[in-house]
Structure 1
Amino acid sequence: MNGAVEAANKNIKKIIEKVTVNYKDWHEMLPFALLAYRTSVRSSTGATLVYGKEAVLPVEVEIPSIRQRMARAFNKKVRPREFSPGDLVLRKVLHIAPDHRGKFAYKYDGPFIVKDFFDGGAIILNDIDKNENTIPVNADALKKYNP
């Protein structure tokens, strides 16, 4: 490509050369060299790379950073969805096959009755006729039904 992979491999090789005592034990030091490379600041970009994300420094825990401010702004807009057994809900329809009605197709299906809910956001639904749906539904795909 543009030599980025070769440059990264060259830097990792330099780190391994500095930490190994014998050339035969390079494979034992490879995880440590990768950690050092991923958490070091790049001079060209000024960023770090840890499994595709920025490394969090211990000082950032004490001092609010831009990352914490962004998380706070995101969490303000999150709408908590709380359901209890017996609530009437509508389930979002995921049109896997194209619907001939286009934009006039139904967006929600139901109503359903909440039978049980779990901590991770999964909810077991019953039909109005008390038939249980065995596949749990994510709470993001539900909204309360107001008749």
Structure 2
Amino acid sequence: MTDNHKGWHELLAYALLGYRTTARTSTREMPYLLVYGKETVIPTEVEIPSLRIIQEAELDNAEWVRARYEQLAMIDEKRMVTVCHSHLYRQRMARAFNKRVKTRLFQIGQLVLKRIFPHQDEYKGKFSPNWQGPYVIHKVLSE
């Protein structure tokens, strides 16, 4: 491992391999598996073959093609399960976030602070303030 940051490009391939072969919390699956329909073979397994690699190496071409076709047929099912799980995960995260949100009701004539975001027309240059003091509510927008 290098102490300085000059050799980061040498370790990038290992970092990407680790990222792509680690199961995500939101999907319960590895990104590599969802894309290719097959678990990854890490470089160590090439040098020191695991049982999975040995069994796959002993298959003849017709059996390997059949096994691969079955894996690819199951990939759509895995993707659908992943979509369902990520939807449930998103709902759980939203529920946890919404527990801390305090709803506020504003009445007509009440003073509030108005923020100006960069994508609005009222933005005037790089150093302009992001608020212009109190703003009186003239009309309540329906939800």
Question: Greater share of strand residues, 1 or 2?
Answer: 1
Greater relative CO, 1 or 2 (CA 8 Å, sep 6+): 2
Question: Greater share of helix residues, 1 or 2?
Answer: 2
TM-score bin (small chain): 0.3 to 0.5
For normalisation by structure 1, the TM-score amounts to 0.33
For normalisation by structure 2, the TM-score amounts to 0.34
